Amino acid sequence: MILPIDPANKLSFKRCIKDGDLVIVYERHDTMKAVKVSEDGVLQNRFGAFKHSEWIGKPFGSKVLSNKGSFVYLLAPTAELWTLVLSHRTQILYIADISFVVMYLEIVPGCSVLESGTGSGSLTTSLARAVAPTGHVYTFDFHEQRAASAREDFEKTGLSNLVTVGVRDIQGEGFPDEFCGRADSVFLDLPQPWLAIPSAGKMLKPDGILCSFSPCIEQVRRSCDALKSHFTDIRTFEVLLRTYEVRQKILERCPVNEEDSNKCPPRKRRQGSAEGSNGNECSSSPTVVIRPSGEARGHTGYLTFARLKCFV
Amino acid sequence: MSINKAIDEDSNQNINSRLTWEGCNVLLDINDGDRLVFARLTAASTLKIGNKKCSLQPLIGCPFGSLFQVESGKGLILTRFVPNAEGNNLEEKDVDGSKDNRALVDNNTAQSLTSEDIDEMRKQGAKGDEIVEALIANSATFEKKTLFSQEKYRVKKQKKYAPRVLLRRPFARSICEAYFKKHPDKIGFMRVDALSLLLCLGNVTSNADVLLVDMLGGIVTGAIAERLGGTGYVCNTYRGSSPYPVDITRMFNLSDEICKRIVHASLTDLNSSQTGASVSVNQEETLPVTHSGNLEEVGVSAEDGGMDITPEKVPSPIIKPCKSIKAGQKAPLEAIKLWKENGFSSLIIAAPEQDPWGIIKEVLPLLSFSAPFAIYHQYAQPLATCMHNLQIEKMAIGLQISEPWLREYQILPSRTHPHMQMSAFGGYILSGTKISSSEPVASSN
């Protein structure tokens, strides 16, 4: 679903929504929902009732109406959209961290990647996208029910051929021996990553890369200590995203002349008041303005990367 | 849980290979990042260190990640250097506060070895490490230094007298980082985290058909091709008669299979309504990227602060034209036909000198409905205008302008803090999803 593995499911002008498809129902940029299309299904939300039967046969990206005449858009799922709609069973990774991790771990098609914990599977989805079509992600979580839910999600998003979810306490037991020397990269998101680092080192191919995500600097310190003996190029980063607001505004332009500007008192904002220009030419045409959004995610976690030393 | 067998069958040219091969591209990290050099490994290729050249031959067939030390014998020779498993155990030693710099006087008399002495040692065949030890033994102040400054002194001398070369696989990350560090203008000031975002927001994955406008010398083209892994296509489109250069793709280790997936097609060809022979107007089959077995070297040198993309002609006739890169062929007609029928599955624009709105309004119709797009720009205002227009014209939803921020940390016992210097700007990205233009008919219910 998420990946164009099956050519029949590939996004195209001709690819229409079918019974059984996973669609992302888009209300607004911050209100989206994943829905499985079924012939007799109905989506009920604050805009009214949407019949799935009216969606079938429409291309992805279409606007559809409710019984009350309100509309939503139906989008094809992507890893990015999935991150925004998945059910949070744990704290999840977002796009800034995800994209940086995939890039820094040098994950390309065909790679084998180990991950622990699975959590809600937000990063796992992007890892799967990066290793497809021939690679594989082996992800572990010690929480049996969480692992089962993750498995269901990968089934739903069509990634189950690329992802295997195991139930295992990686901090306590390490990764399974069968992966020894076979991983191109390892990702750790654990409360005590330093306990899993020796095992991660055994799993990696020579020159393989490890990443550990930790919200607290104390965790990072202990991880870096544990990395020193067998890893090199140990680097810690913090990556954040600043988003911007764009709108159209009428910026007042008062006369340059001092005397004139005294005659022109501060005006109340009049939206779109092009006709409201007085003799002093105090108004101007609308301009598009941009500024950073007032609030942002200020911290997610520290990303520590390291490469396995080459001893041979 | 069984292990994917495919991973063990890496061919030599596979991007996932752990060993270098003749003709492969490597990134040489000299003295811990002081100098970064991209090179192609052939029997005749050389690396310049100081004013001498040393052969890169010993690096062929070695694992990526291996370390070499430069030894002077008959000329400079690169020999394998295996670090001990202990690593740097400086941290475990007591960080003694008893020593400080009160007794240090900067009068240039601390070192009793002269440069003539060192030259003499070299003539007698002393190894780099031996010279470093001699310098330490003859330093009047070494013992008075704190452990940290002793280590600093040792590293400084080692870098000078026994330089080390680390063999790295060039990947989109290292190539982008190297350019950003030394020649950011050549890649439109795009930091590696911005490139990462661009690839994710553009939903680049195997089997994708990516429509691309890359006016950054090929960094984005190469990064996309790396993620396609020999499937799908990355189609570079352009206005005018000749495609934009994608020279940077030569620094990636892209196999022939992957290079075949890098194609170009003019906007006119993609937009023309006919799908036939008329498409092939531009007969220029000589592309800016075809080249023979010359050593391509991008020296990123800390000393001169510059990076030259000067193809160094290797005079030796021994080199067979190894793995000539075919990145950037004309898109096959069948592919163009399919794109017209189905649309591209992603769109990425990296043309920081162009007006993004001017480009996207022309190329967006080529994109499938519900397909994502991402536009890189170094200025916010043109993106803001572009975003506003896309909203007004109801061409896309989920529109967002974002700017990544990246900070590196020093992690040391009791001395953890962010790096004192950081990059304050790595570019803006406008992302969104194309929507279907047809308006719905109100349901009867």
Please judge whether B436 and A60 are an interchain contact, meaning their C-beta atoms are less than 8 angstroms apart. yes
Burial class of B415 by CB neighbour count within 10 A (0 to 12, 13 to 18, 19+): exposed
* Diameter over CA atoms, chain B: 97
Q: Work out the mean pLDDT of chain A and round it to a whole number.
A: 90
The pLDDT value recorded for residue B51 is 77
DSSP bridge pairs for A136: A112
Tokens of A286: 């609308």
Shortest distance between the Cα of B111 and any Cα of chain A, in A, equals 32
Average pLDDT (B328-338) is 91
Q: Per-residue pLDDT tens for A14-36? A: 889 999 999 999 999 889 999 99
User: pLDDT-based confidence at A284, cuts 50/70/90?
Assistant: confident
For residues B431 and B372, the answer to whether their CB atoms sit within 8 Å is: yes
Q: Does residue B302 surpass a pLDDT of 70?
A: no
Pairing of strands B35-40, B209-214: unpaired
Tokens of A67: 């019984």
Q: Per-residue pLDDT tens for B176-202? A: 998 998 899 999 999 999 999 999 999
Lowest mean pLDDT of A160-164, B48-52, B256-260, name the range: B48-52
The pLDDT value recorded for residue B145 is 78
**Interface probe with A: pick from B165, B433, B445, most Cβ of A within 10 Å:** B433
DSSP bridge pairs for B409: A236, B418
More confident residue, B127 or B226: B226
Q: H-helix or E-strand containing B263?
A: strand B262-266
Closest residue in B to A164 (Cα–Cα): B1
The pLDDT value recorded for residue B324 is 47
Query: Would you report the helix, strand and coil content of chain B in percent, each value rounded to 5?
Result: 30, 25, 45
Which residue in A69, A229, A246 is closest to B85 by CB distance? A229
**3-state secondary structure (DSSP) of residue A249:** strand
List of chain A residues whose C-beta atoms are within 8 Å of the C-beta of residue B230: 109
List of chain A residues whose C-beta atoms are within 8 Å of the C-beta of residue B14: 110
For residues A134 and A109, the answer to whether their CB atoms sit within 8 Å is: yes
Please judge whether A103 and B416 are an interchain contact, meaning their C-beta atoms are less than 8 angstroms apart. no
In whole angstroms, what is the distance from residue A36 CA to residue A41 CA? 9
More confident residue, B283 or A312: A312
Nearest of A8, A212, A176 to residue A93 by alpha carbon = A212
In whole angstroms, what is the distance from residue B165 CA to residue B157 CA? 15
Q: Per-residue pLDDT tens for B127-143? A: 788 888 888 888 888 88
The pLDDT value recorded for residue B318 is 32
Q: Does residue A13 surpass a pLDDT of 80?
A: yes
Write the CA distances from B305 to B28, B34, B36, B299, integer angstroms. Answer: 16, 10, 11, 10
**3-state secondary structure (DSSP) of residue B213:** strand
For residues A186 and A114, the answer to whether their CB atoms sit within 8 Å is: yes
In whole angstroms, what is the distance from residue B395 CA to residue A63 CA? 12
Please judge whether B416 and A164 are an interchain contact, meaning their C-beta atoms are less than 8 angstroms apart. no
| Residues placed in the known binding site of A for S-adenosyl-L-methionine | 120-123, 141, 169, 189
Pairing of strands B329-330, B262-266: parallel
Q: Does residue A79 surpass a pLDDT of 80?
A: yes
Q: Per-residue pLDDT tens for A230-259? A: 998 999 999 999 999 999 999 887 766 655
Tokens of A235: 């680097």
Closest residue in A to B82 (Cα–Cα): A311
Q: Per-residue pLDDT tens for A83-130? A: 999 989 989 999 999 999 999 999 999 999 999 999 999 999 999 999
Please judge whether B397 and A26 are an interchain contact, meaning their C-beta atoms are less than 8 angstroms apart. yes
Q: Residues for chain A: how many in total?
A: 312
In whole angstroms, what is the distance from residue A246 CA to residue A157 CA? 33
In whole angstroms, what is the distance from residue A124 CA to residue A89 CA? 14
**Interface probe with A: pick from B200, B385, B389, most Cβ of A within 10 Å:** B200
Please judge whether B408 and A236 are an interchain contact, meaning their C-beta atoms are less than 8 angstroms apart. yes
User: pLDDT-based confidence at B341, cuts 50/70/90?
Assistant: very high
Which residue in A78, A110, A308 is closest to B372 by CB distance? A78
Residues 6+ apart with CB under 8 A from B33: none
Q: Per-residue pLDDT tens for B55-112? A: 899 999 998 888 898 887 667 788 888 766 554 444 445 455 566 777 667 777 778 8
Tokens of A89: 């069973």
Q: What is the ipTM of this complex?
A: 0.91
The amino acid that residue B41 corresponds to is L
